[in-house]
Amino acid sequence: GHNVMLCGALALAGWAPVGAWLAERVDVPSFRQAEEFKRAAALEPVAAALDFLNRLATASPPIRVRLPVSIALDEYRLSIVDARLGPSGAAAATRLQLDDGKMGVALADRARDLCAAGRRCVVRLIGYWRGTVDDVGHLDVRRIDGLVPDAAAAAVEVESR
């Protein structure tokens, strides 16, 4: 077993730079993403937040937003049955229609991976706000940016240009 040990040590030494390089490659985009969005409007009062978003809907060129969204999965965790703007998930919160047609992986599949416990969780969605119809906000989702790290600080964010 002596040779195997030596081999393992050599392999580790040989791979160390690659590992460091990989870690660096992985870290760079996450830093960039953190810088990509800036707080633009509070979620409360809701009317003001929706007003702000609806003005963005007509912006040219379009501006990406990052929003905290409370989503609920069905009992089999196959599809999203309810989505609300903001972290509370309260029935009074603005209902959202999420269009994930432009995402590579279905939003429900990504959400199922993130929402480990229970049927409702709060995720950050990146995409384009398409306006409000009959009190339902329409979000063209391009990316899911993990769980909301701090519900208290949740806000409407826009990409920084």
Per DSSP bridges, beta strands 95-99 and 136-147 are: parallel
Predicted local distance difference test score (pLDDT) of residue 58:
93
pLDDT over 50 at 131, yes or no: yes
The predicted-structure confidence for 2-47, as pLDDT tens digits, reads as follows: 544 444 444 444 444 544 444 444 444 444 445 589 999 999 999 9
The predicted-structure confidence for 116-125, as pLDDT tens digits, reads as follows: 877 889 999 9
- Ranking 49-53, 65-69, 115-119 by mean pLDDT, the lowest is 115-119
Task: Please give the single-letter amino acid code of residue 43.
Answer: L
Could you tell me the pTM of the whole model?
A: 0.77
Measured CA to CA, the distance from residue 130 to residue 55 in angstroms comes to 10
Q: Is 112 exposed, middle or buried (0-12, 13-18, 19+ CB in 10 A)?
A: middle
